[in-house]
Amino acid sequence: MSHWESREAWEAATADTEFRERTRAAREDPQTPITSSPGLYDVAVEFSAAAAERR
């Protein structure tokens, strides 16, 4: 999952031809199973291994 600083940052990245080519190549590589669900979402909860280790 990617996290973007803002909608504008996401729009700038996805408008970039090089970015689109790299992500297309990654999606089409059979050795790299990537699924995409394009859209913008608000993060409600974020989990990380580091946070779990502090408990």
Region of 18 on the Ramachandran plot (φ > 0 left; ψ -120 to 50 alpha; else beta) = alpha
**Euclidean distance between the first and the last CA atom of the chain, given in angstroms as a whole number:** 24
Angstrom distance (rounded) from CA 23 to CA 10: 13
pLDDT at 55: 60
Kindly compute the dihedral angle of the four CA atoms of residues 18, 19, 22, 27, in this order, to the nearest 10 degrees: -140
26-47 pLDDT, tens digit per residue, is 778 778 777 666 666 777 888 8
Q: Is the pLDDT of residue 15 over 80?
A: yes
Name residues whose C-beta falls within 8 Å of residue 29's C-beta, 6 or more positions apart in sequence: none
Q: Give me the mean pLDDT over the 11-20 stretch.
A: 89
Q: Is the pLDDT of residue 54 over 80?
A: no
Give the pTM. Answer: 0.45
